[in-house]
Structure 1
């Protein structure tokens, strides 16, 4: 499967310590967006210092106005509070959804832990309804584990 094949590339990108962390994260976003046809937007949000909000980090896809997201708001903000993966097969069915694009149909957000603390998340939008599977969740958990090693 494509996701399994991408693990090696993700590992290699993140292991290249000759490149700044931000650039490595950006390369991972670009790789995932390019290689997984239903990943329309891929980005990282990180806890913004000691504030109860997330700040947009590296991403690949259309620019977003949502560079700061308060904890509890939208799918990303809910994951910052729940510490759990959140798979949304149909964003139009979510009351607490922050629309980034009218084309987005589904979203998956997986928290990123460092030393047991939720320090951020990977956020993926799709223009395809209900594309995300358990395989996506496990793959994105793997990506976040590798990211945590370099942060």
Structure 2
């Protein structure tokens, strides 16, 4: 399934379920929200997103714990989860997804190139999933975007009874 098809599926399901979406993005720098916004009707469910490339922005806008950022670095599953929680709150959305990781060309925060965490948050809970992508910078960012859209599809499948 292409990224565009996956984004269309997210928007279609969110509209059908009357659920709003937010994003928090680091390595993808807005690609997830941009892909969702290409779908006609996205404005009915896409609340907004935060591009938080810098740790200071993660902390200030998304309420990611400064101590966690100082000890674990920005490429961490707990950071991804806190980013999603922060985006959900900041945008007033029913569900949110986040992406943080290393697109390269060099390792970052002790994590290898291709290490990506996709975070998620909705009324039923929150968490993060580790991914290890291969390829150049653009390929890793594209794969992270695909993974985040797939996570949104999974959230929408789970969120039916937890949309409060």
Calculate the TM-score normalised by the size of structure 1: 0.39
- More helix by percentage: 2
- More strand by percentage: 1
